[in-house]
A = this chain, B = another copy of it.
């Protein structure tokens, strides 16, 4: 069940991961260039299904950390994430048998592939959220008992920082964020080292495959002159993500965006093509809540994705521009991301939102009169 991922699949994965990035996670097209370089210099990457990882295998996930607005301007050299992995291995006195994404949305779908190609390690087809989130404790790993700490942070001057906060992954996030800000707003990290048994127990499975499948579905629909949003809906229906709902169609009319305390924060407003309806999305790196004409239609941890209206090409928050024509969709997150324990870590209240979590499929059904489906 292991499979090989080569450069020719990266455009599809980048597109699919940007959809899962829900506006954040950094633009995966930049990470794609790093993977292509690493595969060219080494070999294609072996991807392991989580079911075939030995229970006692040692997995060290890798990622990039920082504000997406910084990530797209402060381009990585490509060696930093492996430096983070090596620093954590050295601290733990144990070599990794595989790496894995912590966040399969956005650029962080790509960073573990860079590490895998450079280190000759396999990558596990799973992650800790099946989307993107802004903070390090926002992981199914943490929700289900795997601490993020000890973790390592690597910067572009070959410096490394190892942070040990015991089981306190929120404190880990707080300190690592401070280090990342001092490294210029973006860094590379290794964290949540765990056994293969813990991968099977706590990870969202097959999210690299999912990103690849979503990106491929959109491309093939375009090639067949079919509707790419329909293709996405069909692709998702066969997965644990299940539901895609169109939340809105219209134009960007306003973007407020600022990089503060190491995060990209802001609000984007849309108006419908007919001009009779409005959508407002608030974001902290990723889209947090979508409100149509004053009614909540989708909140974290369900996915809110802004797509180009005709092509379904995902648009990240730093790519939002006045006048863009978009289709905004909500995607239901897997069940293990919707438990009370999970919502206590990355539900709306964790982002300061005074909104209860309700599944996107329920919210949209209740308001079905006001949404124009394609």
The distance from the CB of A29 to the nearest CB of chain B, in whole angstroms, is 30
> Of all chain B residues, which has the CB nearest A154?
B164
Does A258 belong to the interface (CB within 8 Å)?
no
Contact mask A137-178 → B, CB, 8 Å, 1/0?
Answer: 000000000000000000001111111111010011011011
The distance from the CB of A85 to the nearest CB of chain B, in whole angstroms, is 15
9 cross-chain pairs, A with B, having the tightest CB-CB distances, nearest first = A178-B182, A159-B165, A162-B162, A178-B178, A160-B164, A161-B163, A175-B182, A174-B182, A159-B171
Judge whether A175 and B162 touch: CB under 8 Å: no
> Of all chain B residues, which has the CB nearest A175?
B182
The distance from the CB of A124 to the nearest CB of chain B, in whole angstroms, is 27
Contacts of A178 in B (CB 8 A): 178-179, 181-182
Contacts of A164 in B (CB 8 A): 87, 159-161
The distance from the CB of A196 to the nearest CB of chain B, in whole angstroms, is 27
Please tell me which one of the listed residues B158, B168, B179 contacts residue A179 in the complex, with CB atoms under 8 A apart.
Answer: B179
Judge whether B175 and A161 touch: CB under 8 Å: yes
> Of all chain B residues, which has the CB nearest A172?
B159
Q: How far is the CA of A159 from the CA of B149 in the complex (A)?
A: 10
List 14 A–B pairs whose Cβ atoms lie within 8 Å, in order of A's numbering. A87-B164, A91-B91, A91-B162, A157-B171, A158-B166, A159-B166, A159-B172, A160-B163, A161-B164, A161-B175, A161-B179, A174-B182, A175-B182, A175-B183
Judge whether B159 and A161 touch: CB under 8 Å: no
Sample of 17 further A-B pairs with CB below 8 A, known A157-B165, A160-B163, A161-B163? A87-B164, A91-B91, A91-B162, A157-B171, A159-B163, A159-B168, A159-B171, A159-B175, A160-B164, A161-B161, A161-B162, A174-B182, A175-B179, A175-B182, A175-B183, A178-B178, A179-B179
Q: How far is the CA of A149 from the CA of B177 in the complex (A)?
A: 21
Q: How far is the CA of A164 from the CA of B157 in the complex (A)?
A: 11
A residues near B, CB below 8 A?
87, 91, 157-166, 168, 171-172, 174-175, 177-179, 181-183
> Of all chain B residues, which has the CB nearest A166?
B158
The distance from the CB of A151 to the nearest CB of chain B, in whole angstroms, is 10
The distance from the CB of A79 to the nearest CB of chain B, in whole angstroms, is 15
Q: How far is the CA of A175 from the CA of B179 in the complex (A)?
A: 6
Contacts of A166 in B (CB 8 A): 158-159
The distance from the CB of A179 to the nearest CB of chain B, in whole angstroms, is 6
Contacts of A162 in B (CB 8 A): 91, 161-162
Kindly name the residue among A157, A168, A175, A177 whose own CB sees the greatest number of chain B CB atoms within 10 A.
A175
Contacts of A159 in B (CB 8 A): 163-166, 168, 171-172, 175
Contacts of A158 in B (CB 8 A): 166
Kindly name the residue among A159, A163, A165 whose own CB sees the greatest number of chain B CB atoms within 10 A.
A159
The distance from the CB of A171 to the nearest CB of chain B, in whole angstroms, is 6
Q: How far is the CA of A166 from the CA of B154 in the complex (A)?
A: 13
> Of all chain B residues, which has the CB nearest A87?
B164
Contacts of A174 in B (CB 8 A): 182
The distance from the CB of A278 to the nearest CB of chain B, in whole angstroms, is 39
The distance from the CB of A263 to the nearest CB of chain B, in whole angstroms, is 15
Contacts of A161 in B (CB 8 A): 161-164, 175, 179
Contacts of A91 in B (CB 8 A): 91, 162
The distance from the CB of A180 to the nearest CB of chain B, in whole angstroms, is 9
Contacts of A175 in B (CB 8 A): 159, 161, 179, 182-183
